[in-house]
């Protein structure tokens, strides 16, 4: 059994490519390497790690979508560079970049459009993370309603799909969303 | 939280951005990083051996000595390091626990020394990893047993005047070395058992002839003497049985025990014989009953440890023995049939039927070879030899298997019991950890709200309630809170019934009814969101509610002594729910649900009383982080007024 080890590019290069400082990159890498000594994380490990934060629900579906959003080159494994690039966008990027990343997350088949089925899957995955014991008890059509609300908000021309521009426009109109996007500024 | 995973918390929080566009409710504020310091190396000097690690590594477990501020007591100003005057070998394991999240138990270490070190560092041994847990428990049990043996032998010398007469008697019966009287009793009964057994044996010996009749066994010749002896023995046994019955702590259990059944069977024939001497017809049956007198010999097992062990091992290998018997039976039947048909032809054959051939087969297979039945035909001889050869195999093979099974099953039983007990303990500790961490989440929520309330009301009281939770914990809680807001649901206690458990406190019952009420109302209001949100979203700056408005839900808990607090924020947080049915004082700590309408507030999300987010973080069970101080929110936060903080009060707000 060969142990494939991925090593990231140098610290300076990463610092240049992302919005993190050297120290932050060091901390990130130490955590990354601790959990994935081989230097790359596959989907299984990804799901396990993410599931630890949501012990009472099933975080596997959302982790699956997340993984595919992180794995931009669709290689099946997320290396440290991909990881750090995505984190840089999410934590330090501009609003535009964050929204674009989120659009990419929702667009499961990466065709540039979000349709209702994709949104349904995402919303269902989010609800799954809550688990069974919630109050109020999750009803069958709650996710569907949630998706309908979302589409009513986002789909400007009511053609049943949300394009990137519609998405950006709608989100920028919504103060709540704008505010919550800034929530994790100081995460590092 | 597992050690390494704490480092991934930034990632999890970043990923939460993916929920933001989907959420309809505003998100709670993130905990501020008040004590943000750059991560630094700290030096731990343990008896001269220097260990270095990052500060954040140690802070992963804030309720241990090294993770909390307790280590400041050991800080050496001159050398700028933490000095511990303890064993460096064990410290290595302790530090590795912080690094990897797994606590290992080194086999060469003495168990009590290890326990002492763990206690010093505030680490519970229950979190020892699976790889080392069994070894640890084994050693611990051995040690405990050793200590217990010592204690027992000491205790035996002491007198215990507090025992009742009955208990002293039982102790005397069970353990003859406790007092001289018990010892005397022990030997007397032993003697009489021996006498009784010998009597039974000698009874049947032919005793010499009486002129004029044939040889008689002694029993019939000296029948009176033997009868007296028998009576005496039975009297002693009866008295002993009755005394044991009287002294037994649980009479029902005593009657069902094996020894008492043996006692009864041993003395019954005598009494039945007394009753039945008149009737000649059943005297034949009576004679058969006398056979049971031989069971008296089993009474010796009370006197012999070895007999008891033998009985126990036979019992535990019953299935193996059964299998041996079964396979032997199969072989016997096969060979008997074969021999019968082989010998059918010969004249004057002893093999008259298959059952008659059984005897031959058994005698041959066990290599006894009495010679009373011998095959005469050639086919018979051939099969006869095959029979004796296979007999050796059939008997010789299973015996070592059974012997090894004895020891295997014996030890396995012990280990299975051990594992069962360990499993129970582990589940218990996991449950404690869960409730502890769930308490932590709710405490932090509650205290966070309390802090805001206090700040807003400008009370001069202390702002920070309880210990500050670790930053990681507070961030994790914030993450879960965001998820709740996104979905519009709230976490419930593990046991959905817990929150509606009826209690002896009528106030609590009131809460339950309320919950039901709310439940019903909510279900009817579920269809609101789709209709409401478009209108809401058109208002700039208005919060879009993800759930129905419930203006009615300004449910004041009638027993609440708290003034209704004004809600000035968009968010509505209902708090406090009584988790257990413990204290009546909990009623005072309920906060009122929020008022909105009269404040001219924008529509709020529905309130509900929910309890506990469960965060089953496998931290050591002794979770103490109580709350954290939340920064004053930019927009006024929800207020709750909680004068008393009962430690059992947990609740979660729901939007």
Cα atoms in the 13 Å half-sphere on the side-chain side of B421: 9
Window 554-613 of B, Cβ < 8 Å to A: 608, 610, 613
In this prediction, residues B276-290 reach a mean pLDDT of: 68
In this prediction, residues B622-636 reach a mean pLDDT of: 37
- Which residues partner with B75 through β-bridges? B82
B478: CB partners within 8 A, 6+ apart: B13, B28, B29, B30, B31
In this prediction, residues B447-472 reach a mean pLDDT of: 50
The string of pLDDT tens digits covering residues B569-610 is 333 333 333 333 333 333 333 433 333 333 333 333 333 333
Give the DSSP per-residue string, B205-239: SB--PPTTS---BHHHHTHHHHHHHHHHHHHHHHH
Structural tokens at position B490: 């709230």
In this prediction, residues B433-449 reach a mean pLDDT of: 63
The string of pLDDT tens digits covering residues A55-90 is 778 888 899 998 888 888 888 888 888 888 888 888
Per-residue pLDDT, B304: 76
Per-residue pLDDT, B556: 40
CB-CB under 8 Å, A32 with B7: yes
The whole-angstrom separation of Cα B613 and Cα A106 is 27
CB-CB under 8 Å, A175 with B484: no
| Phi and psi, residue A21, nearest 5° | -85, 170
Q: Which tops the pLDDT comparison, A99 or B275?
A: A99
pTM: 0.46
The owner of tokens 């209709």 is B531
Residues in chain A: 188
Per-residue pLDDT, B651: 39
Per-residue pLDDT, A110: 85
Decide: B612 and B442 in contact? Cβ < 8 Å: yes
On the question of pLDDT at B638 being above 60, the answer is: no
- Least CB–CB distance from A136: residue in B17, B489, B494: B489
Closest Cα of chain A to B510: distance in Å? 18
Specify the DSSP class assigned to residue B650.
Answer: E
Structural tokens at position B423: 């499993």
The candidate with the shortest Cα–Cα distance to B632, out of B475, B442, B458, is B458
Three-class secondary structure of residue B15 per DSSP: helix
CA distance to A60, B281, B423, B437, B497, per residue, from B493 (Å): 22, 75, 23, 12, 8
Per-residue pLDDT, B547: 41
The whole-angstrom separation of Cα B56 and Cα B27 is 28
In this prediction, residues B16-32 reach a mean pLDDT of: 78
CA distance to A52, B19, B278, B476, per residue, from B615 (Å): 9, 20, 80, 9
The whole-angstrom separation of Cα B268 and Cα B291 is 11
The string of pLDDT tens digits covering residues B467-505 is 445 667 777 778 888 888 887 777 764 444 433 333 333
- Among B44-48, B237-241, B452-456, B640-644, which stretch is predicted with the lowest mean pLDDT? B640-644
Per-residue pLDDT, B431: 76
The candidate with the shortest Cα–Cα distance to B564, out of B590, B585, B545, B587, is B590
Per-residue pLDDT, B96: 92
The rounded percent of chain B whose pLDDT value lies above 90 is 15
Cis peptide before A136 (omega within 30 of 0): yes
Closest Cα of chain A to B563: distance in Å? 26
Per-residue pLDDT, B537: 36
Q: B500 in contact with A at a CB cutoff of 8 Å?
A: no
Q: Rounded to the nearest 5 degrees, what angle is found at the Cα of B144, between the Cα atoms of B171 and B434? A: 115
Mean pLDDT taken over chain B? 69
Per-residue pLDDT, B416: 60
Per-residue pLDDT, B633: 38
- Least CB–CB distance from B543: residue in A35, A131, A176: A176
In this prediction, residues A139-157 reach a mean pLDDT of: 84
On the question of pLDDT at A172 being above 80, the answer is: yes
ipTM of the complex, rounded to two decimals: 0.84
Per-residue pLDDT, B430: 74
Per-residue pLDDT, B639: 39
The whole-angstrom separation of Cα B87 and Cα A12 is 42
Q: Which tops the pLDDT comparison, B399 or B182?
A: B182
In this prediction, residues B306-321 reach a mean pLDDT of: 75
Provide, as residue numbers in chain A, all residues whose Cβ is less than 8 Å from the Cβ of B8: 31-32, 35, 49
Decide: A60 and B9 in contact? Cβ < 8 Å: no
Which candidate in A21, A25, A50, A53 is best for mutational testing of the B interface (most B CBs within 10 A)? Answer: A53
The whole-angstrom separation of Cα A122 and Cα B487 is 12
On the question of pLDDT at B122 being above 50, the answer is: yes
Per-residue pLDDT, A131: 78
Provide, as residue numbers in chain B, all residues whose Cβ is less than 8 Å from the Cβ of A175: 540-541
Give the DSSP per-residue string, A15-74: HHHSS--HHHHHHHHHHHHHH-TTSEEEHHHHHHHHHTT-TTS--HHHHHHHHHHH-TT-
Local confidence band at B411 (pLDDT 50, 70, 90 cut-offs): low
The string of pLDDT tens digits covering residues B44-95 is 999 999 999 988 888 888 888 888 888 888 888 888 899 999 999 999 999 9
């Amino acid at each position: 059994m060969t142990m494939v080890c991925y090593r990231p590019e140098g610290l300076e290069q990463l610092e240049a490519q992302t919005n993190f400082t050297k120290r932050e990159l060091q901390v990130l890498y130490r955590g990354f390497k601790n959990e994935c000594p081989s230097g790359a994380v596959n989907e299984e490990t990804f799901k396990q790690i993410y599931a630890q934060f949501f012990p009472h629900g099933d975080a596997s579906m959302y982790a699956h979508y997340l993984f595919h959003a992180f794995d931009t080159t669709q290689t099946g494994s997320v290396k440290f560079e991909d990881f750090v690039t995505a984190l840089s966008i999410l934590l330090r990027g501009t609003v535009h970049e964050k929204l674009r990343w989120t659009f990419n997350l929702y667009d499961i088949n990466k065709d540039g459009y979000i349709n209702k089925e994709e949104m349904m899957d995402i919303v269902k995955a989010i609800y799954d993370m809550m688990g069974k014991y919630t109050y109020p008890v999750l009803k069958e059509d709650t996710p569907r309603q949630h998706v309908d609300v979302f589409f009513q908000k986002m789909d400007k021309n009511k053609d049943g799909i949300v394009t990137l521009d519609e998405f950006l426009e709608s989100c920028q109109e919504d103060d709540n969303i704008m505010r919550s996007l800034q929530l994790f500024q100081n995460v590092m | 939280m597992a050690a390494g995973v704490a480092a991934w918390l930034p990632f999890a929080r970043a990923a939460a951005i993916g929920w933001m566009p989907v959420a309809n409710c505003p998100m709670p504020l993130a905990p501020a990083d008040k004590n943000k310091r750059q991560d630094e190396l700290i030096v731990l000097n343990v008896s001269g051996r220097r260990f270095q690690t990052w500060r954040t590594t140690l802070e992963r477990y804030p309720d241990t000595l090294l993770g909390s501020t307790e280590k400041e007591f050991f800080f050496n100003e001159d050398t700028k390091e933490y000095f511990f005057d303890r064993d460096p070998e064990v410290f290595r394991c302790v530090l590795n626990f912080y690094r990897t999240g797994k606590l290992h138990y080194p086999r060469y270490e003495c168990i009590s020394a290890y326990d002492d070190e763990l206690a010093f560092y505030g680490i519970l041994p229950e979190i020892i990893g699976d790889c080392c847990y069994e070894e640890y428990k084994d050693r611990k049990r051995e040690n405990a047993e050793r200590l217990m043996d010592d204690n027992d032998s000491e205790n035996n010398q002491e007198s215990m005047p507090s025992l009742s007469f009955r208990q002293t008697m039982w102790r005397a019966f069970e353990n003859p070395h406790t007092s001289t009287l018990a010892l005397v009793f022990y030997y007397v009964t032993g003697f009489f058992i021996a006498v009784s057994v010998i009597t039974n044996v000698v009874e049947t010996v032919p005793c010499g002839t009486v002129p004029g009749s044939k040889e008689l066994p002694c029993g019939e010749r000296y029948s009176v003497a033997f009868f007296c002896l028998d009576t005496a023995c039975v009297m002693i046994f009866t008295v002993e049985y009755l005394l044991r019955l009287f002294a037994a702590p649980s009479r029902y259990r005593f009657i069902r025990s094996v020894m008492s059944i043996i006692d009864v069977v041993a003395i019954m024939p005598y009494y039945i014989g007394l009753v039945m001497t008149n009737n000649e017809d059943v005297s034949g049956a009576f004679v058969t009953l006398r056979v049971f007198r031989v069971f008296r010999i089993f009474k010796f097992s009370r006197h012999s440890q070895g007999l008891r062990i033998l009985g126990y091992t036979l019992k535990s290998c019953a299935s193996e023995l059964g299998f041996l018997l079964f396979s032997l039976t199969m072989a016997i039947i096969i060979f008997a049939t074969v021999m019968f048909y082989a010998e059918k032809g010969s004249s004057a054959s002893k093999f008259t039927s298959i059952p008659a051939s059984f005897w031959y087969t058994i005698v041959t297979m066990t290599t006894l070879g009495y010679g009373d039945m011998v095959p005469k035909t050639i086919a018979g001889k051939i099969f006869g030899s095959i029979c004796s050869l296979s007999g050796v195999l059939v008997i010789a093979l299973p015996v070592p298997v059974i012997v090894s099974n004895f020891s295997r099953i014996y030890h396995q039983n012990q280990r299975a019991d051990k594992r069962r007990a360990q499993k129970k303990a582990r589940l218990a500790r996991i449950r404690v950890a869960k409730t502890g961490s769930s308490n932590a989440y709710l405490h932090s929520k509650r205290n966070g709200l309390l802090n805001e309330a206090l700040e807003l009301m400008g009370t001069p009281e202390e702002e920070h309630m309880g210990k500050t939770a670790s930053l990681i914990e507070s961030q994790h809680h914030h993450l879960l809170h965001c998820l709740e807001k996104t979905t519009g649901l709230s976490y419930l206690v593990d046991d959905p019934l817990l929150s509606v458990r009826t209690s002896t406190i009528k106030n609590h019952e009131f809460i339950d009814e309320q919950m039901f009420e709310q439940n019903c109302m909510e279900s009817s209001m579920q269809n609101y969101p789709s209709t409401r949100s478009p209108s809401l979203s058109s208002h700039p700056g208005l919060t879009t509610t993800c759930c129905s408005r419930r203006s009615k839900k300004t449910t004041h808990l009638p027993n609440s002594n708290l003034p209704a607090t004004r809600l000035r924020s968009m968010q509505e947080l209902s708090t406090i729910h009584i988790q257990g049915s413990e204290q009546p004082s909990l009623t005072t700590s309920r906060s009122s649900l929020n008022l909105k309408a009269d404040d001219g507030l924008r529509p709020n999300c529905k309130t509900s009383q929910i309890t506990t987010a469960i965060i089953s973080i496998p931290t050591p069970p002794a979770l103490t982080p109580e709350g954290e101080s939340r920064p004053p929110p930019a927009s006024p936060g929800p207020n709750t007024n909680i004068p008393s903080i009962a430690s059992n009060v947990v609740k979660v707000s729901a939007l």
